[in-house]
Amino acid sequence: MGNPMRIRAVTADGNTTVKVLMSHPMETGLRKDSEGNLVPAHHITTVTATHNDKTVLTAEWGAAVSQNPFLEFSFAGGAPGDKVSVHWVDNQGDSRTDETVLK
């Protein structure tokens, strides 16, 4: 189970903006460690965001998304008490889900 994400979701003018910071090395598989060995590719491949069980975003990523990825998007609607959840899966089978409750 990966490290926790920071999810911030703010509703204004009938729109909810979500900002996510994920903790992930996003290794390309091209970097060498201090001993000269290639560090294996290890990166998030799929991201899914939901608002109360409705999918509001899907993303497919390659290794070129930066380490400790940042993501911002927005969708119509959102009321206090609603849940916004973000789930990622990586190429080594690790995954993480975090959620926030709208205020």
The residues binding other proteins (CB under 8 A) are 3-6, 13, 15, 17, 19, 21, 23, 25, 27-28, 30, 33-34, 39, 45-46, 54-77
Query: In the complex with other proteins, which residue's Cβ is closer, 17 or 85?
Result: 17
Distance of CA 56 to the CA centre of its chain: 13
Query: In the complex with other proteins, which residue's Cβ is closer, 3 or 101?
Result: 3
At which residue do the structure tokens 């973000």 appear?
A: 86
CA distances from 56 to 2, 18, 26, 71 (A): 22, 10, 23, 13
Min. distance of Cβ 81 from other proteins in angstroms? 18
Query: In the complex with other proteins, which residue's Cβ is closer, 8 or 101?
Result: 8
Query: In the complex with other proteins, which residue's Cβ is closer, 36 or 55?
Result: 55
Burial of 63 (0-12, 13-18, 19+ CB in 10 A): middle
Min. distance of Cβ 83 from other proteins in angstroms? 16
Which of 101, 12, 96, 100 lies closest to 48 in space, CA to CA? 96
